[in-house]
Amino acid sequence: MVIYVQDPMDTDAKRRLLTLGEISVTGRLIDASNATLFATTTLDGESMACIYKPIAGERALWDFPDGTLAHREYASYLLSKFLDLNLVPVTVLRDGPYGEGMVQEWIDIDESIDLADFFSTKNPQLRAMAFFDAIINNTDRKIGHLLPDNQGKVFGCDHGVTFHVDDKLRTVLWQWAGEPLLESELALLEFLKESLDQNFDLTEFLTEHEIQALIIRTSRLIDTGTMPIPSQEWPPVPWPAF
């Protein structure tokens, strides 16, 4: 049996394995606030490591509807993929041993990178992550949610608390606060705004109010032409930061 952790498999092959493979849970990430299970998914003699977050294991939150975090994780993946940012590991929604949930490609991080130093650098991939978080209204971009892999690519994980109708951006990536958006970023925002009214449909995973809030955030970023600045009305950095 061939086991894939990070490998040259294309996205479609990974999605097929994550969607159709048999999930075998082998452990749990004990630091996670929601049930976050380490697993492998196996199909036709091939396996890959993955994270499985069953909806049944989601902790109730005062500001997010119950049972919606997996859908927000999947919507984040779809948006990242649609804009060709490719910041979120391959993600699917499916049934599993503990019911429906999110299943996501496991990223084996580069252990030589000190995240405590890396998160505050001006790495262009971190800027892309900060830009992405501003769009999805990420309320919990911790240092530990940054996943630099062994090929030099930076991924992000844990996007369950996103797409809130209120502005709740909380992140450790404030090093570009107030800086002008790049032309390429503005072009992506224009493309997203147009597509949300036409051919990019998230209604299966988000409410109508949440989608309208996404459109408003996108429009505001276009109008201001700058990266967001920390709010004075709520803590702009998640706690704990790691």
pLDDT in tens, 25-65: 999 888 777 889 999 999 999 999 999 999 999 998 999 99
Give backbone dihedrals phi and psi of 175, rounded to 5 degrees, phi first: -70, -10
Residues in the chain: 242
Q: Is 52 helix (H, G, I), strand (E, B) or coil?
A: strand
Q: State residue 197's pLDDT score.
A: 82
Structural domains of the chain, with CATH: 2-224 (1.10.510)
Q: State residue 129's pLDDT score.
A: 98
Which residues is 109 bridged to in the sheet? Answer: 149
Q: State residue 3's pLDDT score.
A: 32
Largest Cα–Cα separation, the chain: 54
Q: State residue 26's pLDDT score.
A: 93
Q: What is the rounded end-to-end Cα distance, in angstroms, of the chain?
A: 36
> 128, 135 in Cβ contact below 8 A?
no
Q: State residue 126's pLDDT score.
A: 98
Q: State residue 30's pLDDT score.
A: 81
Q: State residue 54's pLDDT score.
A: 97
**For residue 97, cis peptide bond before it (omega within 30 degrees of 0):** no
The segments of the chain whose pLDDT lies below 50 read 1-7
CA distance 94 to 101: 6
The HSE-up count of residue 95 (CA atoms within 13 Å, CB side) is 0
